[in-house]
């Protein structure tokens, strides 16, 4: 069987929204995975500790990353395949598209659909998560409510047309028993344009069965179904803390909207928003009581749904971004456009422009972006300084303060020359290559990074590249 083609990048007119969950969309065509794309890499709110003083936060961040260095290298590729009779394309080396860490286990998902688990205690591969020979894993979600990993997969047996979800406890994976999990949402028909979305903020799962046009909301703790939304006129559902926004089919010069309680589906408010009749809607987004509406070549409108007051931001100041990240704790949002990142408030004011945070990928590959749970730092794979001859052909991992835009630390190839640390630390330590068991140099590890994850508990950054390798950056 020929390998499924990789998911395409979003077209230029599309928006990739980053809010509070992760949506995986089923394939449009049988036998192909073009439409099956992890369409969003949305920021997930965790338990938030009390806010620290901004100056202390910056100093703390600088210390946290001061002596970080390349420590380990893992390889997801197994030329023999993860089991006998495996599909041929699963034996091929392919790039890492997603990294998730839970406790002492690092999960790396390759574009081929192979997912490997590695132990940070032994630095060995524990197992592959693909349970059957024809399973192609397309997305991962760590459910902290029950300490389990949810895999979303498609199978050759049904021409890769339906999404199937499975939950496996981390303790079973640690023992090398990935087949000890159980199936989720078996009653749902998740064929294109059906999807499943995991909402870590509200502790919910949203599914859409296109076959009968029914949305269902499940409890993320025990996977029991809570309620359904059945209306063929619903075009899209957006999730925000405590609420869901239902966007209906456009009627003439307005779009009908409903705000529902995320807990029980109760309608909290129904209203219509006026639109320019012949202009494309670039996006409609809900953030608490604020509704953001942008049409083609028009000003951004920020509507307060409590009193219907509208704030407009000039189209020359706010141009349609390729992605959003809503920062719930700070009441701000980030926009991504043409490799640049900016921070806005809900009065339509630009809060922060970043001084040294030019993203490496022009399509805003959000697999290469991580926001800390305090929502004070953004860690991204960025273009290296063109003036640095040692960084030619490499990118760098930049850690920047979201509220000030200042770069607080940077992992780059030129640092390797000075000491064992991978950041500009100014320390006097000597490089000890024997400490690291990697085959790659720092420069090689910073080439063509395709996925990035920061483990806040362990203080480690994990990166994956086009060769299917995972690198561990640690103090």
pLDDT of residue 17: 35
SS3 at position 463: strand
Per DSSP, what are the bridge partners of residue 76? Answer: none
Residue 240: count of CB within 10 angstroms of its CB: 23
Q: How many whole angstroms separate alpha carbon 469 and alpha carbon 96?
A: 7
pLDDT of residue 22: 66
Least confident stretch, 232-241, 242-251, 320-329:
320-329
Sheet containing strand 267-274, strands side by side: 234-240, 243-248, 254-261, 267-274
SS3 at position 367: helix
Q: How many whole angstroms separate alpha carbon 236 and alpha carbon 255?
A: 12
pLDDT digits (tens, 9 = 90+) for 430-456: 444 334 466 889 999 999 999 999 999
Can you tell me the mean pLDDT for 10-24? 43
DSSP characters for 169-193? EHHHHHTT-GGG-EEE-TT---BTT
Both tokens of 234, joined, read 């619903």
pLDDT of residue 367: 81
Can you tell me the mean pLDDT for 210-228? 95
Q: Any idea which residue has 């996977």 for tokens?
A: 223
pLDDT of residue 457: 93
**What is the pLDDT confidence band of residue 366, given thresholds at 50, 70 and 90?**
confident
pLDDT of residue 57: 55
Question: Which percentage of the chain shows pLDDT scores above 90?
Answer: 63
Statement: residue 348 has pLDDT above 70: yes
Least confident stretch, 84-98, 176-190, 376-390, 422-436:
422-436
Q: In 57-194, at which residue ranges do the beta strands (DSSP E only) sit?
A: 69-75, 96-102, 105-110, 115-119, 125-128, 135-143, 148-155, 164-169, 182-184
pLDDT of residue 218: 98
Question: What is the pTM for the complete model shown?
Answer: 0.85
Both tokens of 99, joined, read 């990294």
Can you tell me the mean pLDDT for 405-420? 74
**What is the pLDDT confidence band of residue 328, given thresholds at 50, 70 and 90?**
confident
Rg (the chain; Cα; Å): 22
pLDDT digits (tens, 9 = 90+) for 103-136: 999 999 999 999 999 999 999 999 999 999 899 9
pLDDT digits (tens, 9 = 90+) for 134-162: 999 999 999 999 999 999 999 999 999 99
pLDDT of residue 370: 95
pLDDT digits (tens, 9 = 90+) for 34-45: 333 333 333 333
Exposed (0-12), middle (13-18) or buried (19+): which is 339, by Cβ within 10 Å? middle
Can you tell me the mean pLDDT for 185-206? 94
Statement: residue 234 has pLDDT above 60: yes
pLDDT of residue 174: 97
Least confident stretch, 277-291, 307-321, 339-353, 381-395:
381-395
Q: How many whole angstroms separate alpha carbon 411 and alpha carbon 404?
A: 20
Q: How many whole angstroms separate alpha carbon 142 and alpha carbon 147?
A: 7
Q: How many whole angstroms separate alpha carbon 370 and alpha carbon 98?
A: 12
pLDDT of residue 36: 34
pLDDT of residue 44: 35
Both tokens of 137, joined, read 């894993």
Q: How many whole angstroms separate alpha carbon 339 and alpha carbon 332?
A: 19
Q: How many whole angstroms separate alpha carbon 332 and alpha carbon 54?
A: 16
Measuring CA to CA, which residue among 104, 113, 111 is closest to residue 132? 113
Can you tell me the mean pLDDT for 453-472? 96
Measuring CA to CA, which residue among 282, 381, 390, 384 is closest to residue 341? 381
Report which DSSP code applies to 405. Answer: -
Statement: residue 296 has pLDDT above 70: yes
Helices and strands: H and E segment counts in the chain: 3, 34
Residue 304: count of CB within 10 angstroms of its CB: 14
Q: How many whole angstroms separate alpha carbon 367 and alpha carbon 40?
A: 9
Statement: residue 99 has pLDDT above 70: yes
Mean pLDDT estimate for the chain: 83
Both tokens of 74, joined, read 């893992």
- CB 21 within 8 Å of CB 197: yes
Helix (H) or strand (E) holding 63: helix 54-64
pLDDT digits (tens, 9 = 90+) for 247-267: 999 998 899 999 999 999 999
- CB 372 within 8 Å of CB 455: no
Q: Which residues contact 453 (CB under 8 A, 6 or more apart)?
A: 99, 100, 101, 106, 370, 461, 462, 463
């Amino acid at each position: 069987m020929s390998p499924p083609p990789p998911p395409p990048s979003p077209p230029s007119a599309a928006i990739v929204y980053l809010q509070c969950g992760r949506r995986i969309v089923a394939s449009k065509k049988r036998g192909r995975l073009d439409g099956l794309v992890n369409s969003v890499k949305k920021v997930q709110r965790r338990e938030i500790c009390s806010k620290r003083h901004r100056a202390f936060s910056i100093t703390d961040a600088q210390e946290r990353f001061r002596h970080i260095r390349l420590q380990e290298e893992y390889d997801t590729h197994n030329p023999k395949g993860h089991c006998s009779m495996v599909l041929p394309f699963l034996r091929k080396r392919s790039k890492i598209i997603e990294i998730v860490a839970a406790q002492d286990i690092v999960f790396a998902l390759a574009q081929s659909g192979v997912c490997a688990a590695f132990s940070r205690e032994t630095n060995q591969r524990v197992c592959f998560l693909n349970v059957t020979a024809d399973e192609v894993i397309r997305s991962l979600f760590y459910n902290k409510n029950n300490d389990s990993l949810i895999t979303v997969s498609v199978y050759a047996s049904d021409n890769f047309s339906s999404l199937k979800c499975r939950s496996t406890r981390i303790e079973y994976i640690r023992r090398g028993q990935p087949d000890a999990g159980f199936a989720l949402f078996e009653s749902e028909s998740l064929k294109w344009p059906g999807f499943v979305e995991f909402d870590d903020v509200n502790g919910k799962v949203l599914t859409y069965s296109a076959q009968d046009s029914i949305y269902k909301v499940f409890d993320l703790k025990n996977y029991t179904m809570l309620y359904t939304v059945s209306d063929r006129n619903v075009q899209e559902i957006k999730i925000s803390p405590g609420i869901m926004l239902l966007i209906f089919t456009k009627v003439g010069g307005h779009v009908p909207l409903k705000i529902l309680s995320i807990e029980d589906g109760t309608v909290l408010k129904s209203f219509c928003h006026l639109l320019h009749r012949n202009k494309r809607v670039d996006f409609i987004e809900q953030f608490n009581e604020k509704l953001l509406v942008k049409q083609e070549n028009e000003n951004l409108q920020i509507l307060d749904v409590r009193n219907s007051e509208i704030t407009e931001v000039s189209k020359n100041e706010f141009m349609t971004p390729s992605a959003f990240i809503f920062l719930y704790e700070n009441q701000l949002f980030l926009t991504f456009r043409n490799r640049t990142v900016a921070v806005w408030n809900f009065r339509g004011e630009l809060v922060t422009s970043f001084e040294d945070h030019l993203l490496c990928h022009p399509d805003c590959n959000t697999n290469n972006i991580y926001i800390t749970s305090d929502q004070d730092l953004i860690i991204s794979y960025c273009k290296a300084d063109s003036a640095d001859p040692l960084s030619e052909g490499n990118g760098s991992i930049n850690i920047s303060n979201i509220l000030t835009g200042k770069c607080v630390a940077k992992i780059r190839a030129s640092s390797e020359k000075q000491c064992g640390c991978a950041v500009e630390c100014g320390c006097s330590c000597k490089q000890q290559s024997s400490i690291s068991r990697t085959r790659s140099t720092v420069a090689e590890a910073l080439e063509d990074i395709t996925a990035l994850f920061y483990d806040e508990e362990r203080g480690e950054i994990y990166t994956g590249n086009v060769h299917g390798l995972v690198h561990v950056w640690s103090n």
